[in-house]
Amino acid sequence: MARRGSGLLSAGGMAAFAGGAVVALVASRLLPPLFAQAAGSVSGRDPFAALADDHRHIMALLNEMEQTPQNATFRRTQLLLRLKRRLAAHALAEEDVVYPLLHDRAHEEGDTRRLYGEHADMKMHLSALERMPKDDPNWLGRVTELKMLIAEHVHQEEAIDFPKLRDALGRRAISRLSGSVRREKALLL
């Protein structure tokens, strides 16, 4: 006969299991960003090149969305979800790390405000696309509007703002920026 209160089904066993589950959950959310930051700082990967790579992926997804036929509702939904996820991680890194540095270190207050505003516009377009039926005849037009907005935003960042920020930062600060960008993106990817 089994003793009461012993084994895995005991209160102590259940508490240990719950504690282990909490530790695993916390570690699964905290460790990836920390490892990403450490890897980014050590790898020497240029943070501006990484952000530009994101831009290429985002534009490729938009191009693919524009090529979908009207009846490809499942494919459109898939692509939209992939775009939202990629944009969310990218925007988090820019809004929490890059834009504050652009504002404070490169003294680009006007550009920074405009970039934040453009991100808000992108989010409104994404929300409209999400709510809109994927076979709506206006869906592709909305995708094209979003693509044009993002293309202008990308040009501004890559041609003007990223070079200004690079000039304002030293090599060590750029290395730290790389780790911080990777950490922020790891929070969502």
Average pLDDT over residues 154-166: 97
Which among 54, 44, 43, 116 is positioned nearest to 87, based on CA atoms?
A: 54
- First-to-last alpha carbon distance for the chain, in angstroms, is 50
Give tens-digit pLDDT for 112-158.
Answer: 999 999 999 999 999 999 999 999 999 999 999 999 999 999 999 99
Average pLDDT over residues 62-76: 97
CA distance 81 to 78: 5
pLDDT score, position 10: 73
Average pLDDT over residues 66-89: 97
Judge whether 68 and 75 are in contact, CB under 8 Å: yes
Least confident of 16-20, 77-81, 112-116: 16-20
**Cα angle 156-183-99, degrees, rounded to a multiple of 5:** 30
Q: Domain 13-186 carries which CATH code?
A: 1.20.120.520
Report which residue type is found at 150.
I
pLDDT score, position 36: 43
Judge whether 162 and 49 are in contact, CB under 8 Å: no
Q: Predicted confidence band at 21 (pLDDT cuts at 50, 70, 90)?
A: low
Q: Looking at the predicted structure, is the pLDDT value of residue 18 above 80?
A: no
